[in-house]
Amino acid sequence: MAVAKKDKAIAALEAIHAALKPLSGDERVRVLASVRTLLEIPGVRRQEEAQVQGQGDASPVSPPVPAQTPTRPLSIRELINDKRPGSHPEFITLFAYYRERQENQPSFSRDDLKRYYSLSRENPPANYDRDFVKAIQKGWIHEDGANSYITSKGIEAVAAGFANIAGDRQREGRGVTKRARSKKAARKNRMQK
């Protein structure tokens, strides 16, 4: 007698369960949000978050509820408030993400993303080109003239709310400028004399 093959959906569910089981609830939500974003699965995030917080349906897997009316588009400000970028390379990557996901414009030139600073009422960086290059160096954006695009790594970073890069911010000395560090050192030297 031949052994019946497992249904693909059940096999996938078992693999996902095994991968997520050792993670905390917050980590599970972040991983699932990244996977949803990468697979372009719309509209289930709020329902799943409510379930994780114990506010939703008690069944472990419930199908997404189809929208009865068209949903409103997400504003750039809402996305910033949700993902909380903390540096200009993060803002630039978030703008590319917004442009692709909300405006259906996956490609852009370097200058195309500048306008999102004024649209979101954020102060632009003093050196936009430097910060754009930093986003490229982090692997979040691929630059190809007018055909530049956000990478899968960039999409993951935005989807995770830039959670995995807090250590990078500390290594960059974020929040303390060279001038402030030199003033502090000068003060310390004066006090020692």
pLDDT for the residue numbered 104 = 93
Q: Is residue 2 part of a domain?
A: no
Domain boundary pick from 52, 67, 88:
52
Asked if the model's pLDDT at residue 189 lies above 90, the reply is: no
Q: Which residue has the higher pLDDT, 125 or 73?
A: 125
Q: Is residue 180 part of a domain?
A: no
We report the CATH number of the domain holding residue 105 as: 1.10.460.10
How many domains, the chain?
Answer: 2
Determine the structural domain holding residue 108 and report its residue range.
76-171
Q: Which residue has the higher pLDDT, 69 or 21?
A: 21
Of 130, 126, 132, the closest CA to residue 112 belongs to 132
Asked if the model's pLDDT at residue 95 lies above 50, the reply is: yes
Token representation of residue 140 = 């979040």
Q: How far apart are the C-alpha atoms of 190 and 193, rounded to whole Å?
A: 5
- What confidence tier does 35 reach under pLDDT thresholds 50, 70, 90? confident
Q: Is residue 27 part of a domain?
A: yes
Q: How far apart are the C-alpha atoms of 169 and 175, rounded to whole Å?
A: 9
Range among 6-15, 34-43, 108-117, 172-181 with highest mean pLDDT value: 108-117
Asked if the model's pLDDT at residue 183 lies above 70, the reply is: no
Q: Is residue 151 part of a domain?
A: yes
Asked if the model's pLDDT at residue 61 lies above 70, the reply is: no
pLDDT for the residue numbered 4 = 53
